[in-house]
Structure 1
Amino acid sequence: MKAYWIAHVDVTDPEQYTEYTRRAPAVFARYGGRLLARGGRAEALEGRATPQRNVVIEFDSYDQALACYRSAEYQEARGHREGAAQAEVIIVEGLSG
């Protein structure tokens, strides 16, 4: 079953955050991740206010998505996000069939 990496991000240092956005997509691709949404228009209809950025990445499996997040390559890229953004990241398994 496919899995989805969903991130809600509020950027506090756009210049530093750019370094993260430069590096992370290559890591996602190495693990078969496909960016479905990255930034763009969004509106909160229920719950908390809309974060500045919403990101959805599709993976072929839950294990692939976790492996990507836990990889040394992603953790190195993630280091460039430290101090530049507040992020919530979840991985959710898709529906079967």
Structure 2
Amino acid sequence: MPAYWIAHVTVTDPDRYRDYQSLAPAAFARFGARFLARGGAAETLEGPAHARHVVIEFPDLATARACHASPEYAAARAARAGAAEVQVVIVEGL
């Protein structure tokens, strides 16, 4: 059953965030991620507002977790540190 990363992001340093954007695709490609939503128009109806929202589909929960724990994504997260406010959840699909 598929699993999804749901990320809410507010970029605070666009120049440094580009480093994350250049590194993260390697992790997503390795784990067969498929982007369902990335940026675009959004409206916050409840809770804290973020500028950007991302939904990424993975084949299953184990793969979604493995991607987040991978060395490739660790490098991307390190590059992103201090460049954005980020909340990421992994949720199992139906």
Q: TM-score range by the shorter chain?
A: over 0.9
| CA-to-aligned-CA distance 1:5-48 (integer Å, 9 cap, x gap) | 01001111000001101110221111011111111110012333
- Alignment pair present for 1:38 and 2:38: yes
Counterpart of 2:15 in structure 1 is 15
Q: Percent of aligned pairs with the same residue?
A: 61
**2-side partners of 1:43 and 1:70: how far apart?**
30
- Alignment pair present for 1:89 and 2:80: no
**1-side partners of 2:16 and 2:59: how far apart?**
30
Runs of 5+ in structure 2 lacking a partner? none
Which segment drifts farther, 40-49 or 63-72?
Answer: 40-49
* Equivalent pairs, count: 94
SS in 1 for 2:19: helix
Counterpart of 2:3 in structure 1 is 3
- After TM superposition, what 4+ stretches of structure 1 lie above 4 angstroms from structure 2? none
Which segment drifts farther, 40-49 or 5-14?
Answer: 40-49
TM (norm. structure 1) is 0.92
Counterpart of 1:27 in structure 2 is 27
**2-side partners of 1:15 and 1:47: how far apart?**
27
CA contact (8 A) 2:38 2:55 kept: yes
SS in 2 for 1:80: helix
Letter of the 1:22 counterpart: S
Runs of 5+ in structure 1 lacking a partner? none
